[in-house]
A and B are shown apart, each in its own frame.
Chain A
Amino acid sequence: MPIHEKSLIRPENLTTHDELVLDGVDVSGHWSTFIETRVVKDYNESMEEEIAALPGGEHIHRCWQCGSCTNSCTVNAINPDFNPRYWIYLIRMGYESELLRDKDIIWQCVSCNKCTYACPRDVFPEGVMKATAHWLEKKGHTTKSPSMHFDEVFTEQIVKTGKIEESRTIRRFFSRTGQALMQPWMVEMVKRMLKGLPVSLLTRMGLATLFAPRTSDWSRASAALEEYIDEQEEKQAQALSLAELVETAKQDVAA
Protein backbone atom coordinates (compact mmCIF):
# COMPACT_ATOMS: atom_id res chain seq x y z
CA MET A 1 0.00 0.00 0.00
CA PRO A 2 1.42 3.44 -0.84
CA ILE A 3 2.54 5.11 2.37
CA HIS A 4 0.32 8.16 1.94
CA GLU A 5 -2.73 5.89 2.08
CA LYS A 6 -1.70 3.96 5.19
CA SER A 7 -3.23 6.51 7.52
CA LEU A 8 -6.62 6.03 5.82
CA ILE A 9 -7.26 2.65 7.38
CA ARG A 10 -7.12 3.78 11.00
CA PRO A 11 -10.25 2.88 13.00
CA GLU A 12 -11.51 6.48 13.06
CA ASN A 13 -11.56 6.55 9.24
CA LEU A 14 -13.60 3.37 8.89
CA THR A 15 -17.38 3.27 8.85
CA THR A 16 -19.61 0.24 9.24
CA HIS A 17 -23.44 0.17 9.06
CA ASP A 18 -25.10 -2.20 11.45
CA GLU A 19 -28.12 -2.54 9.19
CA LEU A 20 -27.86 -1.77 5.51
CA VAL A 21 -29.57 -3.22 2.45
CA LEU A 22 -28.33 -2.11 -0.97
CA ASP A 23 -30.25 -3.12 -4.13
CA GLY A 24 -31.92 -5.87 -2.13
CA VAL A 25 -28.62 -7.26 -0.85
CA ASP A 26 -28.08 -7.31 2.91
CA VAL A 27 -24.66 -5.75 3.59
CA SER A 28 -25.13 -5.22 7.34
CA GLY A 29 -22.10 -5.37 9.60
CA HIS A 30 -18.62 -5.82 8.23
CA TRP A 31 -19.90 -6.31 4.66
CA SER A 32 -20.49 -2.56 4.52
CA THR A 33 -17.15 -1.47 5.94
CA PHE A 34 -15.66 1.33 3.90
CA ILE A 35 -12.98 4.00 4.21
CA GLU A 36 -14.34 7.48 4.44
CA THR A 37 -13.32 9.83 1.67
CA ARG A 38 -10.99 12.53 2.77
CA VAL A 39 -9.68 15.82 1.47
CA VAL A 40 -6.37 17.10 2.81
CA LYS A 41 -6.37 20.86 2.92
CA ASP A 42 -3.80 21.59 5.57
CA TYR A 43 -0.52 21.03 3.76
CA ASN A 44 2.13 23.14 5.46
CA GLU A 45 4.34 24.14 2.58
CA SER A 46 6.99 25.82 4.70
CA MET A 47 7.47 22.95 7.18
CA GLU A 48 10.42 21.33 5.36
CA GLU A 49 12.16 24.65 4.88
CA GLU A 50 11.70 25.61 8.52
CA ILE A 51 13.03 22.30 9.82
CA ALA A 52 15.96 22.55 7.41
CA ALA A 53 16.76 25.95 8.94
CA LEU A 54 17.31 24.38 12.37
CA PRO A 55 20.63 22.75 13.29
CA GLY A 56 20.71 19.12 12.16
CA GLY A 57 17.85 19.44 9.66
CA GLU A 58 19.94 20.88 6.80
CA HIS A 59 20.06 17.76 4.63
CA ILE A 60 16.48 16.52 4.86
CA HIS A 61 15.93 17.26 1.14
CA ARG A 62 18.37 14.48 0.18
CA CYS A 63 16.06 11.70 1.44
CA TRP A 64 15.17 8.91 -0.98
CA GLN A 65 12.78 7.11 1.38
CA CYS A 66 14.82 3.90 1.31
CA GLY A 67 13.98 3.20 4.96
CA SER A 68 17.51 2.33 6.12
CA CYS A 69 17.10 4.74 9.04
CA THR A 70 13.95 3.14 10.43
CA ASN A 71 15.35 -0.31 9.73
CA SER A 72 18.43 0.36 11.84
CA CYS A 73 16.72 2.49 14.51
CA THR A 74 17.30 1.62 18.17
CA VAL A 75 14.06 3.22 19.38
CA ASN A 76 11.98 1.75 16.56
CA ALA A 77 12.94 -1.71 17.82
CA ILE A 78 11.15 -1.04 21.10
CA ASN A 79 8.41 1.24 19.75
CA PRO A 80 7.26 0.61 16.15
CA ASP A 81 5.53 4.02 16.08
CA PHE A 82 8.97 5.64 16.17
CA ASN A 83 9.52 5.90 12.42
CA PRO A 84 12.12 8.39 11.14
CA ARG A 85 11.58 7.53 7.48
CA TYR A 86 7.85 8.18 7.71
CA TRP A 87 8.35 11.47 9.54
CA ILE A 88 10.85 12.68 6.94
CA TYR A 89 8.26 11.81 4.30
CA LEU A 90 5.51 13.72 6.12
CA ILE A 91 7.74 16.77 6.63
CA ARG A 92 8.68 16.87 2.97
CA MET A 93 5.02 16.46 1.99
CA GLY A 94 4.05 19.22 4.41
CA TYR A 95 1.55 16.88 6.03
CA GLU A 96 1.59 18.59 9.40
CA SER A 97 -1.53 17.14 11.04
CA GLU A 98 -0.24 13.61 10.41
CA LEU A 99 3.18 14.48 11.88
CA LEU A 100 1.52 15.96 14.97
CA ARG A 101 -0.01 12.58 15.79
CA ASP A 102 3.51 11.50 16.80
CA LYS A 103 4.62 14.80 18.33
CA ASP A 104 5.12 13.36 21.81
CA ILE A 105 7.61 10.66 20.86
CA ILE A 106 9.91 12.33 18.31
CA TRP A 107 12.19 13.71 21.06
CA GLN A 108 12.91 10.15 22.20
CA CYS A 109 15.69 9.66 19.62
CA VAL A 110 18.71 8.42 21.64
CA SER A 111 21.33 9.77 19.19
CA CYS A 112 22.93 6.34 18.67
CA ASN A 113 23.63 7.38 15.07
CA LYS A 114 22.74 3.99 13.63
CA CYS A 115 20.55 5.79 11.07
CA THR A 116 23.32 8.21 10.12
CA TYR A 117 25.64 5.21 9.74
CA ALA A 118 23.17 3.40 7.49
CA CYS A 119 21.89 6.33 5.41
CA PRO A 120 23.13 6.10 1.80
CA ARG A 121 22.21 9.73 1.10
CA ASP A 122 23.87 11.51 4.04
CA VAL A 123 20.56 12.89 5.28
CA PHE A 124 21.90 12.69 8.87
CA PRO A 125 18.50 11.50 10.16
CA GLU A 126 19.69 11.83 13.77
CA GLY A 127 20.06 15.57 13.21
CA VAL A 128 16.68 15.72 11.46
CA MET A 129 15.02 14.11 14.52
CA LYS A 130 16.55 16.75 16.80
CA ALA A 131 15.59 19.57 14.43
CA THR A 132 12.03 18.23 14.23
CA ALA A 133 11.75 17.97 18.02
CA HIS A 134 12.96 21.59 18.27
CA TRP A 135 10.55 22.71 15.59
CA LEU A 136 7.61 21.14 17.47
CA GLU A 137 8.62 22.95 20.66
CA LYS A 138 9.37 26.30 19.06
CA LYS A 139 6.06 26.26 17.20
CA GLY A 140 4.22 25.51 20.41
CA HIS A 141 2.97 22.05 19.37
CA THR A 142 4.60 20.42 22.39
CA THR A 143 5.90 21.53 25.73
CA LYS A 144 9.61 21.20 26.44
CA SER A 145 10.60 17.54 26.54
CA PRO A 146 12.58 16.16 29.49
CA SER A 147 15.49 15.71 27.10
CA MET A 148 15.38 19.38 26.10
CA HIS A 149 15.36 20.39 29.77
CA PHE A 150 18.41 18.24 30.33
CA ASP A 151 20.23 19.67 27.32
CA GLU A 152 19.51 23.18 28.56
CA VAL A 153 20.63 22.58 32.14
CA PHE A 154 23.79 20.94 30.83
CA THR A 155 24.63 23.63 28.30
CA GLU A 156 23.94 26.45 30.76
CA GLN A 157 26.42 24.95 33.18
CA ILE A 158 29.14 24.57 30.55
CA VAL A 159 28.63 28.07 29.21
CA LYS A 160 28.88 29.40 32.76
CA THR A 161 31.80 27.37 34.14
CA GLY A 162 33.37 25.44 31.24
CA LYS A 163 32.84 22.12 33.03
CA ILE A 164 30.15 19.76 34.24
CA GLU A 165 29.74 18.65 37.82
CA GLU A 166 27.37 15.71 37.51
CA SER A 167 25.43 15.79 40.77
CA ARG A 168 24.63 19.49 40.30
CA THR A 169 23.38 18.88 36.75
CA ILE A 170 21.25 15.96 37.91
CA ARG A 171 19.71 17.90 40.80
CA ARG A 172 18.87 20.88 38.58
CA PHE A 173 17.35 18.60 35.96
CA PHE A 174 15.12 16.83 38.48
CA SER A 175 13.94 20.08 40.03
CA ARG A 176 13.26 21.69 36.64
CA THR A 177 11.20 18.72 35.46
CA GLY A 178 9.43 18.48 38.83
CA GLN A 179 10.52 14.92 39.65
CA ALA A 180 11.44 13.51 43.01
CA LEU A 181 15.18 12.93 43.09
CA MET A 182 15.27 9.98 45.42
CA GLN A 183 13.32 7.31 43.60
CA PRO A 184 13.70 3.78 45.04
CA TRP A 185 16.18 2.63 42.37
CA MET A 186 18.22 5.80 42.82
CA VAL A 187 18.41 5.23 46.58
CA GLU A 188 19.56 1.67 45.95
CA MET A 189 22.23 2.84 43.53
CA VAL A 190 23.58 5.51 45.85
CA LYS A 191 23.68 2.93 48.65
CA ARG A 192 25.71 0.50 46.57
CA MET A 193 27.94 3.31 45.38
CA LEU A 194 28.76 4.53 48.87
CA LYS A 195 29.51 1.04 50.14
CA GLY A 196 32.86 0.69 48.45
CA LEU A 197 34.00 4.27 48.20
CA PRO A 198 37.03 5.48 50.13
CA VAL A 199 36.61 8.54 52.36
CA SER A 200 39.06 10.61 50.32
CA LEU A 201 36.98 10.22 47.17
CA LEU A 202 33.75 11.00 49.03
CA THR A 203 35.29 14.17 50.40
CA ARG A 204 36.46 15.18 46.95
CA MET A 205 33.02 14.53 45.47
CA GLY A 206 31.38 16.47 48.29
CA LEU A 207 33.66 19.41 47.72
CA ALA A 208 32.93 19.34 43.99
CA THR A 209 29.23 19.71 44.83
CA LEU A 210 29.88 22.77 46.95
CA PHE A 211 32.50 24.36 44.75
CA ALA A 212 31.65 23.50 41.15
CA PRO A 213 34.80 22.75 39.16
CA ARG A 214 35.46 25.44 36.61
CA THR A 215 37.86 26.11 33.80
CA SER A 216 40.00 29.07 34.78
CA ASP A 217 40.06 32.11 32.52
CA TRP A 218 36.67 31.04 31.16
CA SER A 219 34.81 34.36 31.44
CA ARG A 220 35.63 35.60 27.94
CA ALA A 221 34.71 32.26 26.37
CA SER A 222 31.52 32.31 28.41
CA ALA A 223 30.55 35.77 27.15
CA ALA A 224 31.37 34.82 23.55
CA LEU A 225 29.20 31.70 23.79
CA GLU A 226 26.26 33.57 25.30
CA GLU A 227 26.41 36.13 22.53
CA TYR A 228 26.54 33.38 19.90
CA ILE A 229 23.55 31.54 21.41
CA ASP A 230 21.43 34.71 21.41
CA GLU A 231 22.42 35.38 17.81
CA GLN A 232 21.40 31.87 16.71
CA GLU A 233 18.10 32.01 18.58
CA GLU A 234 17.24 35.24 16.83
CA LYS A 235 18.09 33.70 13.45
CA GLN A 236 15.94 30.63 14.13
CA ALA A 237 13.03 32.72 15.34
CA GLN A 238 13.12 34.58 12.04
CA ALA A 239 13.36 31.40 9.96
CA LEU A 240 10.33 29.99 11.78
CA SER A 241 8.38 33.29 11.68
CA LEU A 242 7.84 33.04 15.42
CA ALA A 243 7.01 36.74 15.80
CA GLU A 244 4.09 36.36 13.42
CA LEU A 245 2.95 33.28 15.28
CA VAL A 246 2.83 35.26 18.53
CA GLU A 247 0.96 38.09 16.77
CA THR A 248 -1.68 35.69 15.41
CA ALA A 249 -2.08 34.12 18.84
CA LYS A 250 -2.58 37.57 20.40
CA GLN A 251 -5.27 38.43 17.86
CA ASP A 252 -7.00 35.10 18.52
CA VAL A 253 -7.02 35.82 22.24
CA ALA A 254 -8.34 39.35 21.63
CA ALA A 255 -11.10 38.02 19.37
Chain B
Amino acid sequence: MTTKDKYKKVAYYPGCALEGTGHAYNRSTKAVGKKLGLDLVEVKDWNCCGAMEVKNIDPKIQTYLSSRVMSTAANEMDMDVVMAPCNGCYHNLKKAEYDLANDEESVEVVDRLSKKAGHKTYESGQVETIHALDWIKDSIGEEGLAERVKNSLSGIKVANYYGCMYTRPRHIFPEKDQGPGSESTSKPHFMDDLLAAAGAENVDFPLKTACCGGAHTLSDSDTSTKLVLNILKAAKLSGADVIATECPTCHSGLEMHQIRAEKTLGEKVDIKILYFTQLLGMALGLKAKKVGVHENVSDSMKFLKEKGLG
Protein backbone atom coordinates (compact mmCIF):
# COMPACT_ATOMS: atom_id res chain seq x y z
CA MET B 1 0.00 0.00 0.00
CA THR B 2 1.37 3.42 -0.88
CA THR B 3 1.60 6.19 1.70
CA LYS B 4 -1.14 7.93 -0.22
CA ASP B 5 -3.61 5.12 0.40
CA LYS B 6 -2.34 4.40 3.88
CA TYR B 7 -3.23 7.90 5.05
CA LYS B 8 -6.74 7.80 3.57
CA LYS B 9 -8.03 6.32 6.80
CA VAL B 10 -6.17 7.10 10.00
CA ALA B 11 -6.76 6.94 13.75
CA TYR B 12 -7.44 10.51 14.93
CA TYR B 13 -6.01 11.66 18.25
CA PRO B 14 -7.33 15.19 18.91
CA GLY B 15 -5.99 15.52 22.47
CA CYS B 16 -7.25 17.66 25.35
CA ALA B 17 -6.51 21.12 23.93
CA LEU B 18 -8.62 20.45 20.84
CA GLU B 19 -11.62 19.84 23.09
CA GLY B 20 -11.04 23.17 24.85
CA THR B 21 -9.16 26.27 23.70
CA GLY B 22 -8.15 24.64 20.41
CA HIS B 23 -11.66 23.66 19.40
CA ALA B 24 -11.42 25.65 16.17
CA TYR B 25 -8.47 23.47 15.14
CA ASN B 26 -10.49 20.32 15.83
CA ARG B 27 -13.43 21.61 13.83
CA SER B 28 -11.33 22.79 10.89
CA THR B 29 -9.21 19.61 10.76
CA LYS B 30 -12.33 17.44 10.61
CA ALA B 31 -13.97 19.72 8.04
CA VAL B 32 -10.89 19.69 5.80
CA GLY B 33 -10.63 15.90 6.11
CA LYS B 34 -14.26 15.49 5.10
CA LYS B 35 -13.88 17.86 2.17
CA LEU B 36 -10.82 15.95 0.95
CA GLY B 37 -12.44 12.55 1.36
CA LEU B 38 -10.07 11.46 4.12
CA ASP B 39 -11.39 9.28 6.89
CA LEU B 40 -10.72 10.11 10.55
CA VAL B 41 -11.54 7.48 13.16
CA GLU B 42 -11.15 8.94 16.65
CA VAL B 43 -9.01 6.88 19.03
CA LYS B 44 -11.39 5.15 21.43
CA ASP B 45 -11.42 6.48 24.93
CA TRP B 46 -8.12 8.26 24.61
CA ASN B 47 -6.20 9.85 27.48
CA CYS B 48 -3.96 12.93 27.71
CA CYS B 49 -0.42 12.49 26.29
CA GLY B 50 1.10 14.38 29.23
CA ALA B 51 1.55 17.65 27.32
CA MET B 52 4.63 19.63 28.37
CA GLU B 53 4.07 19.21 32.09
CA VAL B 54 4.09 15.53 33.04
CA LYS B 55 7.63 14.97 31.78
CA ASN B 56 8.83 17.44 34.41
CA ILE B 57 7.38 15.20 37.11
CA ASP B 58 8.63 12.02 35.44
CA PRO B 59 9.36 11.47 31.71
CA LYS B 60 8.44 7.79 31.92
CA ILE B 61 4.87 8.59 32.98
CA GLN B 62 4.60 10.65 29.82
CA THR B 63 5.95 7.72 27.80
CA TYR B 64 3.32 5.47 29.35
CA LEU B 65 0.46 7.94 28.71
CA SER B 66 1.43 8.28 25.05
CA SER B 67 1.96 4.53 24.67
CA ARG B 68 -1.57 3.83 25.91
CA VAL B 69 -3.03 5.93 23.09
CA MET B 70 -0.94 4.09 20.52
CA SER B 71 -1.79 0.74 22.11
CA THR B 72 -5.52 1.44 21.78
CA ALA B 73 -5.12 2.44 18.13
CA ALA B 74 -3.04 -0.63 17.30
CA ASN B 75 -4.53 -3.35 19.48
CA GLU B 76 -8.16 -2.38 19.85
CA MET B 77 -8.81 -0.57 16.58
CA ASP B 78 -6.37 -2.37 14.34
CA MET B 79 -5.09 0.91 12.89
CA ASP B 80 -1.53 1.44 11.76
CA VAL B 81 -1.42 5.23 11.51
CA VAL B 82 -2.22 7.73 14.28
CA MET B 83 -2.70 11.34 13.20
CA ALA B 84 -2.26 14.04 15.86
CA PRO B 85 -2.84 17.67 14.80
CA CYS B 86 -1.50 19.09 18.08
CA ASN B 87 2.28 19.56 18.11
CA GLY B 88 2.40 18.51 21.77
CA CYS B 89 0.56 15.22 21.23
CA TYR B 90 2.49 14.55 18.02
CA HIS B 91 5.79 15.23 19.78
CA ASN B 92 4.98 13.05 22.79
CA LEU B 93 3.83 10.08 20.73
CA LYS B 94 7.01 10.36 18.64
CA LYS B 95 9.12 10.61 21.79
CA ALA B 96 7.44 7.56 23.31
CA GLU B 97 8.02 5.66 20.06
CA TYR B 98 11.72 6.58 20.17
CA ASP B 99 12.14 5.70 23.85
CA LEU B 100 10.34 2.38 23.49
CA ALA B 101 12.59 1.47 20.56
CA ASN B 102 15.81 2.52 22.27
CA ASP B 103 15.53 2.49 26.04
CA GLU B 104 15.04 -0.78 27.92
CA GLU B 105 14.08 0.91 31.15
CA SER B 106 11.21 2.76 29.43
CA VAL B 107 10.03 -0.53 27.90
CA GLU B 108 10.08 -2.16 31.33
CA VAL B 109 8.17 0.68 33.06
CA VAL B 110 5.56 0.92 30.28
CA ASP B 111 5.03 -2.84 30.34
CA ARG B 112 4.61 -2.86 34.12
CA LEU B 113 2.15 0.06 34.09
CA SER B 114 0.19 -1.32 31.12
CA LYS B 115 -0.26 -4.70 32.80
CA LYS B 116 -1.46 -3.08 36.01
CA ALA B 117 -3.81 -0.83 34.06
CA GLY B 118 -5.18 -3.89 32.30
CA HIS B 119 -4.43 -3.28 28.62
CA LYS B 120 -1.98 -4.61 26.05
CA THR B 121 1.50 -3.11 26.19
CA TYR B 122 2.35 -0.99 23.16
CA GLU B 123 5.37 -2.27 21.26
CA SER B 124 7.44 0.13 19.19
CA GLY B 125 6.66 -0.04 15.48
CA GLN B 126 3.01 -1.00 15.85
CA VAL B 127 1.78 2.37 14.60
CA GLU B 128 3.20 5.30 12.68
CA THR B 129 2.49 8.71 14.23
CA ILE B 130 1.98 11.59 11.81
CA HIS B 131 1.06 15.27 12.04
CA ALA B 132 -1.93 16.83 10.26
CA LEU B 133 0.61 18.37 7.86
CA ASP B 134 1.99 14.94 6.85
CA TRP B 135 -1.56 13.65 6.58
CA ILE B 136 -2.68 16.20 3.96
CA LYS B 137 0.66 16.52 2.20
CA ASP B 138 1.18 12.79 1.74
CA SER B 139 -2.39 11.71 0.99
CA ILE B 140 -3.50 14.61 -1.24
CA GLY B 141 -0.29 16.45 -2.10
CA GLU B 142 0.16 19.95 -3.46
CA GLU B 143 -1.13 19.13 -6.91
CA GLY B 144 -4.19 17.35 -5.61
CA LEU B 145 -4.88 20.27 -3.35
CA ALA B 146 -4.43 22.87 -6.10
CA GLU B 147 -7.00 20.98 -8.22
CA ARG B 148 -9.56 21.17 -5.44
CA VAL B 149 -9.13 24.87 -4.59
CA LYS B 150 -12.36 26.84 -5.02
CA ASN B 151 -11.41 30.14 -3.39
CA SER B 152 -7.75 30.84 -3.94
CA LEU B 153 -5.88 32.38 -1.02
CA SER B 154 -4.17 34.72 -3.48
CA GLY B 155 -3.40 38.11 -2.06
CA ILE B 156 -3.04 36.74 1.47
CA LYS B 157 0.46 37.05 2.82
CA VAL B 158 1.23 34.31 5.32
CA ALA B 159 4.00 33.79 7.87
CA ASN B 160 4.11 30.06 8.61
CA TYR B 161 4.79 29.39 12.27
CA TYR B 162 5.75 25.82 13.21
CA GLY B 163 6.87 26.24 16.82
CA CYS B 164 9.20 23.97 18.81
CA MET B 165 7.65 20.57 19.23
CA TYR B 166 7.21 19.78 15.52
CA THR B 167 10.94 19.63 14.79
CA ARG B 168 12.89 19.40 18.05
CA PRO B 169 14.75 17.44 19.25
CA ARG B 170 15.83 15.95 15.94
CA HIS B 171 16.38 12.36 17.11
CA ILE B 172 12.70 11.61 17.71
CA PHE B 173 11.86 12.44 14.07
CA PRO B 174 13.91 9.90 12.08
CA GLU B 175 11.89 10.53 8.89
CA LYS B 176 12.79 14.24 8.81
CA ASP B 177 15.94 15.66 7.15
CA GLN B 178 16.01 12.78 4.66
CA GLY B 179 16.59 14.84 1.53
CA PRO B 180 14.13 16.02 -1.13
CA GLY B 181 10.50 15.47 -0.28
CA SER B 182 11.09 15.04 3.44
CA GLU B 183 10.45 17.66 6.10
CA SER B 184 13.37 19.76 7.32
CA THR B 185 13.96 20.27 11.04
CA SER B 186 15.85 23.53 10.58
CA LYS B 187 13.67 25.06 7.84
CA PRO B 188 10.34 23.24 7.89
CA HIS B 189 8.24 23.79 4.75
CA PHE B 190 5.24 21.43 4.72
CA MET B 191 2.81 24.15 5.81
CA ASP B 192 4.37 26.61 3.32
CA ASP B 193 3.93 24.01 0.55
CA LEU B 194 0.28 23.33 1.32
CA LEU B 195 -0.72 26.98 1.68
CA ALA B 196 1.19 27.92 -1.48
CA ALA B 197 -0.75 25.21 -3.33
CA ALA B 198 -3.91 26.90 -2.08
CA GLY B 199 -2.71 30.19 -3.57
CA ALA B 200 -1.33 31.98 -0.52
CA GLU B 201 1.79 34.08 -0.72
CA ASN B 202 4.27 32.86 1.89
CA VAL B 203 6.58 35.53 3.25
CA ASP B 204 10.18 34.89 4.23
CA PHE B 205 9.69 34.44 7.97
CA PRO B 206 12.83 33.92 10.06
CA LEU B 207 11.08 32.81 13.27
CA LYS B 208 9.34 29.70 11.91
CA THR B 209 10.65 27.50 14.70
CA ALA B 210 11.13 30.12 17.43
CA CYS B 211 9.60 29.44 20.83
CA CYS B 212 6.41 31.18 22.01
CA GLY B 213 7.09 30.27 25.65
CA GLY B 214 4.02 28.02 25.61
CA ALA B 215 5.28 25.82 28.44
CA HIS B 216 5.27 28.81 30.80
CA THR B 217 2.41 30.75 29.30
CA LEU B 218 0.78 31.10 32.73
CA SER B 219 3.61 30.34 35.14
CA ASP B 220 6.03 32.90 33.64
CA SER B 221 3.76 35.12 31.57
CA ASP B 222 6.21 38.02 31.26
CA THR B 223 8.73 35.81 29.46
CA SER B 224 6.03 34.38 27.19
CA THR B 225 4.75 37.85 26.33
CA LYS B 226 8.24 38.96 25.29
CA LEU B 227 8.75 35.85 23.16
CA VAL B 228 5.34 36.15 21.49
CA LEU B 229 5.83 39.86 20.85
CA ASN B 230 9.06 39.01 19.01
CA ILE B 231 7.23 36.54 16.81
CA LEU B 232 4.33 38.89 16.07
CA LYS B 233 6.63 41.80 15.23
CA ALA B 234 8.92 39.68 13.04
CA ALA B 235 5.90 38.36 11.12
CA LYS B 236 4.57 41.88 10.65
CA LEU B 237 7.98 43.14 9.49
CA SER B 238 8.18 40.23 7.05
CA GLY B 239 5.08 41.69 5.42
CA ALA B 240 2.58 39.06 6.60
CA ASP B 241 -1.16 39.67 7.11
CA VAL B 242 -1.65 36.33 8.82
CA ILE B 243 0.34 33.97 10.99
CA ALA B 244 -0.62 30.39 10.15
CA THR B 245 -0.36 27.97 13.08
CA GLU B 246 -0.35 24.21 13.44
CA CYS B 247 -0.52 23.76 17.19
CA PRO B 248 -3.24 24.74 19.70
CA THR B 249 -0.68 25.76 22.35
CA CYS B 250 1.21 28.04 19.97
CA HIS B 251 -2.07 29.39 18.61
CA SER B 252 -3.64 30.25 21.95
CA GLY B 253 -0.25 31.48 23.20
CA LEU B 254 0.01 33.93 20.30
CA GLU B 255 -3.58 35.10 20.77
CA MET B 256 -3.35 35.45 24.53
CA HIS B 257 -0.02 37.27 24.61
CA GLN B 258 -1.01 39.50 21.69
CA ILE B 259 -3.64 40.86 24.07
CA ARG B 260 -1.34 40.74 27.09
CA ALA B 261 1.37 42.70 25.24
CA GLU B 262 -1.23 45.32 24.39
CA LYS B 263 -2.54 45.52 27.96
CA THR B 264 0.71 45.28 29.95
CA LEU B 265 3.35 46.71 27.60
CA GLY B 266 1.20 48.95 25.43
CA GLU B 267 2.50 47.20 22.32
CA LYS B 268 -0.18 46.52 19.76
CA VAL B 269 0.68 44.36 16.76
CA ASP B 270 -2.13 44.07 14.28
CA ILE B 271 -1.77 40.66 12.68
CA LYS B 272 -4.30 37.87 12.20
CA ILE B 273 -3.72 34.42 13.65
CA LEU B 274 -5.36 31.43 11.94
CA TYR B 275 -4.86 27.67 11.99
CA PHE B 276 -3.50 26.42 8.66
CA THR B 277 -6.50 24.08 8.46
CA GLN B 278 -8.81 27.11 8.65
CA LEU B 279 -7.05 28.72 5.68
CA LEU B 280 -7.06 25.44 3.73
CA GLY B 281 -10.72 24.81 4.52
CA MET B 282 -11.76 28.23 3.22
CA ALA B 283 -9.63 27.71 0.10
CA LEU B 284 -11.53 24.46 -0.45
CA GLY B 285 -14.78 26.41 -0.40
CA LEU B 286 -15.85 26.05 3.24
CA LYS B 287 -17.49 28.96 5.05
CA ALA B 288 -15.49 30.72 7.77
CA LYS B 289 -17.90 29.45 10.44
CA LYS B 290 -17.51 25.87 9.21
CA VAL B 291 -13.81 26.08 10.05
CA GLY B 292 -14.41 27.84 13.36
CA VAL B 293 -12.97 31.28 12.57
CA HIS B 294 -15.55 32.75 14.99
CA GLU B 295 -14.07 30.59 17.76
CA ASN B 296 -10.66 32.25 17.50
CA VAL B 297 -9.87 35.00 20.00
CA SER B 298 -8.19 37.14 17.35
CA ASP B 299 -10.89 38.52 15.08
CA SER B 300 -10.19 37.85 11.39
CA MET B 301 -13.73 37.91 9.95
CA LYS B 302 -13.56 41.37 8.42
CA PHE B 303 -10.14 40.75 6.95
CA LEU B 304 -11.24 37.44 5.41
CA LYS B 305 -14.37 39.02 3.92
CA GLU B 306 -12.21 41.69 2.31
CA LYS B 307 -10.13 38.97 0.73
CA GLY B 308 -13.22 37.27 -0.61
CA LEU B 309 -13.18 34.36 1.83
CA GLY B 310 -15.60 33.17 4.49
Contacts and interface: CB of A to CB of B under 8 A. Distances in A.
B296 A164 contact: no
Interface string B207-240: 0001101111011100110110000000000000
A123 to B, nearest CB: 12
B47 A116 contact: no
Given A110-B211, A158-B54, A75 B168 contact: no
Contact of B61 (A166, A193, A225): A225
Contact of A111 (B19, B170, B215): B215
B216 A110 contact: yes
Nearest to A75: B223
B256 A110 contact: no
B215 to A, nearest CB: 5
Interface residues of B, number: 65
Contacts of B259: 185, 188-189, 192
A34 interface: no
A177 B216 CA distance: 14
A174 B308 CA distance: 42
A61 B269 CA distance: 44
B155 interface: no
B65 interface: yes
A158 B20 contact: no
Contact of A166 (B16, B45, B118): B16
A151 B223 contact: no
A228 B109 contact: yes
Given A75-B223, A221-B68, A56 B216 contact: no
B137 interface: no
Interface stretch (A12-20, A197-205, A240-248): A197-205
Nearest to A205: B20
Interface string B45-77: 111101111111111110011001000000000
B21 to A, nearest CB: 6
A73 B248 CA distance: 23
B119 to A, nearest CB: 8
Contacts of A170: 218
A179 to B, nearest CB: 9
Interface residues on A, range: 35 or more
B260 A224 contact: no
B128 to A, nearest CB: 22
A111 B227 contact: no
Interface in B73-120: 109, 112-113, 116-118
Interface class of chain A by DSSP = helix
A15 to B, nearest CB: 37
Interface in B139-194: 164-165, 167-170, 185
B39 interface: no
B168 A167 contact: no
Contacts of A148: 56
B50 A197 contact: no
Contacts of B164: 111-114
A149 B213 CA distance: 17
Interface in B234-280: 255-256, 259-260, 262-264
Contact of A173 (B47, B219, B262): B219
A243 to B, nearest CB: 21
A74 interface: yes
A164 B297 contact: no
B263 A184 contact: yes
A40 interface: no
6 contacts: A55-B55, A111-B215, A116-B169, A146-B219, A196-B301, A224-B116
Interface of B: 16-17, 19-21, 23, 45-48, 50-61, 64-65, 68, 109, 112-113, 116-118, 164-165, 167-170, 185, 210-211, 213-216, 218-220, 223-224, 226-227, 255-256, 259-260, 262-264, 294-299, 301
Interface of A: 55-56, 74-75, 78, 108, 110-114, 116-117, 124, 127, 130, 134, 145-152, 154-155, 158, 162-167, 170, 173-174, 177, 184-185, 188-189, 192-193, 195-198, 201, 205, 208, 213, 215-218, 220-221, 223-225, 227-229, 232
